[in-house]
């Protein structure tokens, strides 16, 4: 026994051309076999002729040839020999006994030729068939009778019309098949392109360092990128989960309800930005994520699902917390010595032996120390986690006088920066204000207008009393604020890119505190700016306040 392994090849799969030729041959051989078997009962005498037996074997041989020849590997025109051979065999049977009507079967090979081959072979087959029928009839030399009508008229017309109809139908079918193949090829190319693009998109989304979750219009999650999977793995979330099962709100201790969870809100069709969530139990390892949702639409504008983006902001929040702790610590340390300084300055002011010039200088030092204490207190409040409000004490105050005092106090600063400081508007404008806080508002706005002005620029402070309120405008001719930064300039610790890149020192707290003070007055603060032209801040405060509001405001401690 041989030690090798003997393999046996399986049956070779028949090609498209070979299968078509075999099917066409069987469609001819089958009806002929039925006719020949029927002759056994109708006219048994025909079997006494060797021609019948010869033609039976002839058609069996054609069928065997159609089954055995590898038609797919030889020139296509060789296949045309079979239908013409079938035509010849049928014509021979017809000539042997025209009364059987077997000649009508010539339409079968004609159909084969018209359906498979070109117009030249189709015309040749039709013309050859008609000439053979007419030629054999005329060669007999007998007179033509009415019975020959079928031979001379019916069969040629039938063969011609059948051939024409089949050829046109086949040509149309081939054209449609070609068009379908082209369309199929285009669809395949488009599908491959879309698959490549989807693959590239998936790779890109898996390469980014933030989580991405995509879902369709039915709310079924269709994609979760590698970063989001890693977010889940880091906290032991099951592999089949899409988001963390337990999440906390921005304060880190309040659980989200099911309806308020970011994923459920997004699946319900809501879009939102920078929703903060905490994962991990309090007191243990935790992480914070900023979650945003966007809704997608198809070409018709219909809802088509959406995408959720999660960004790990743990380090940023920890940095903010560390910054607030530092500011709070520094502010707390500054507050005690400032309080002591104010106390000693107040004692010094009570000394009757001071001359007027010394008293004036001490008063200036006291006023500025008092302002510095207010600023330190505000810094301490800004860094505090408690929801505290600025201490306010409202009274009827002259906004115009406060504006003039602030302008005069900034003269030296304006001259140092070569900026013209102009006071304009009414001489008196009384409103219900906290004078110290209103001075803080104007000091902040005027300081910014001077700091961010151009050389030889101008700052104009205009006070305008109106019906029910007093407005103060601070206009500068500085560099202006970019439109993209305007919505955020009142955020705590926010500074524009131009401010960060300049040599001007700032904390980003001034405008935030200014807006809060104005709002506590029941007023509003607006800003308009144009790059290269300048910026205008407009403060409006009411002339009167309700007594309940005053009482509530006075009772609030910083």
Tell me if domain 209-312 and domain 395-554 are identical in fold: no
The domain segmentation of the chain, as residue ranges, is 16-181, 209-312, 318-383, 395-554
Task: Quick: pLDDT tens for 426-442.
Answer: 889 999 999 988 998 99
In eight-state DSSP terms, residue 210 is S
Q: In what order do the strands lie in the sheet with 247-248?
A: 221-224, 211-215, 303-312, 287-297, 272-279, 247-248
Beta pairing class for 469-476 and 221-224: unpaired
CATH, range 395-554? 3.30.565.10
d(CA 150, CA 129): 14
Task: Quick: pLDDT tens for 473-486.
Answer: 999 998 888 887 78
Q: Is residue 171 left, alpha or beta, with left meaning phi > 0 and alpha meaning psi from -120 to 50?
A: alpha
209-312 CATH, one of 3.30.70.20, 2.60.40.1890, 3.40.50.720, 3.30.450.20: 3.30.450.20
pLDDT at 497: 55
Task: Quick: pLDDT tens for 162-176.
Answer: 777 877 887 787 788
Beta pairing class for 303-312 and 287-297: antiparallel
92 vs 101, residue with greater confidence:
92
Nearest to 105 by CA among 93, 119, 121, 117: 93
Percent over 90 (pLDDT), the chain: 18
In eight-state DSSP terms, residue 522 is T
What mean pLDDT is reported for the chain?
80
State mean pLDDT over 519-527.
90
Q: For the chain, how long is the longest CA-to-CA vector?
A: 165
Which CA distances in Å does 278 have to 42, 248, 255, 261? Answer: 96, 5, 9, 12
460 vs 558, residue with greater confidence:
460
Nearest to 517 by CA among 375, 391, 387: 391
Q: What is the pTM of this model?
A: 0.46
Residue 500 has pLDDT above 60, yes or no: no
């Amino acid at each position: 026994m041989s030690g090798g392994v003997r393999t046996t090849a399986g049956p070779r799969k028949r090609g498209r051309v070979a299968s078509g030729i075999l099917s066409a041959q069987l469609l001819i051989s089958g009806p002929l076999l039925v006719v020949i078997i029927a002759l056994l009962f109708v006219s048994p005498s025909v079997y006494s002729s060797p021609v019948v037996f010869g033609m039976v074997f002839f058609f069996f041989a054609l069928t065997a040839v159609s089954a055995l020849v590898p038609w797919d590997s030889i020139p296509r025109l060789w296949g045309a020999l079979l239908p013409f051979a079938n035509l010849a065999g049928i014509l021979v049977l017809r000539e042997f006994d025209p009364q059987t009507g077997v000649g009508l079967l010539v339409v079968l090979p004609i159909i084969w030729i018209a359906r498979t081959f070109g117009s030249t072979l189709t015309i040749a087959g039709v013309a050859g068939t008609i000439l053979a029928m007419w030629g054999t009839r005329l060669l007999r030399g007998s007179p033509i009778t009415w019975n020959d009508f079928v031979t001379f008229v019916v069969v040629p017309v039938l063969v011609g019309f059948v051939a024409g109809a089949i050829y046109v139908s086949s040509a149309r079918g081939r054209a449609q098949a070609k068009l379908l193949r082209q369309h199929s090829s285009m669809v395949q190319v488009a599908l491959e392109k879309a698959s490549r693009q989807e693959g590239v998109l998936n790779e890109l989304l898996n390469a980014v360092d933030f989580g991405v979750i995509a879902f369709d219009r039915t709310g079924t999650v269709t994609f979760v990128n590698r970063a989001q999977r890693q977010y889940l793995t880091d906290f032991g979330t099951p592999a089949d989960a899409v988001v963390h099962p337990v999440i906390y709100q921005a304060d880190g201790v309040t659980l989200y309800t099911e309806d308020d969870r970011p994923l459920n809100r997004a699946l319900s069709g809501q879009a939102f930005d920078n929703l903060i969530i905490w994962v991990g139990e309090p007191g243990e390892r935790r992480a914070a994520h900023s979650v945003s949702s966007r809704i997608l639409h198809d070409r018709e504008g219909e809802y088509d699902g959406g995408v959720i983006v999660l960004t790990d902001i743990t380090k940023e929040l920890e940095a903010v917390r560390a910054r607030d702790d530092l500011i709070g610590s520094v502010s707390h340390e500054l507050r005690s010595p400032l309080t002591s300084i104010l106390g000693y300055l107040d004692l010094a002011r009570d000394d009757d032996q001071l001359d007027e010039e010394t008293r004036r200088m001490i008063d200036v030092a006291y006023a500025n120390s008092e302002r510095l204490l207010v600023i330190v207190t505000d810094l301490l409040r800004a860094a505090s986690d408690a929801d505290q409000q600025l201490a306010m004490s409202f009274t009827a105050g002259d906004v115009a006088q406060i504006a003039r005092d602030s302008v005069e106090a900034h003269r030296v600063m304006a001259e140092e920066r070569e900026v013209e400081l102009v006071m304009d508007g009414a001489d008196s404008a009384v409103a219900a204000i906290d004078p110290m806080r209103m001075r803080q508002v104007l000091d902040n706005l005027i300081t910014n207008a001077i700091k961010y002005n151009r050389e030889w620029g101008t700052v104009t402070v205009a006070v305008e009393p109106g019906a029910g309120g007093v407005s103060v405008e601070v206009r500068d001719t500085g560099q202006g604020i970019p439109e993209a930064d305007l919505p955020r300039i009142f955020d705590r610790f926010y500074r524009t890119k131009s401010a960060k890149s300049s040599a001007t020192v700032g904390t980003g707290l001034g405008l935030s505190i200014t807006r809060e003070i104005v709002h506590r007055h029941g007023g509003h603060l607006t800003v308009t700016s144009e790059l290269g032209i300048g910026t205008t801040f407009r403060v409006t405060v009411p002339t009167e306040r309700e007594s309940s509001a005053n009482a509530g405001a006075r009772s609030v401690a910083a």
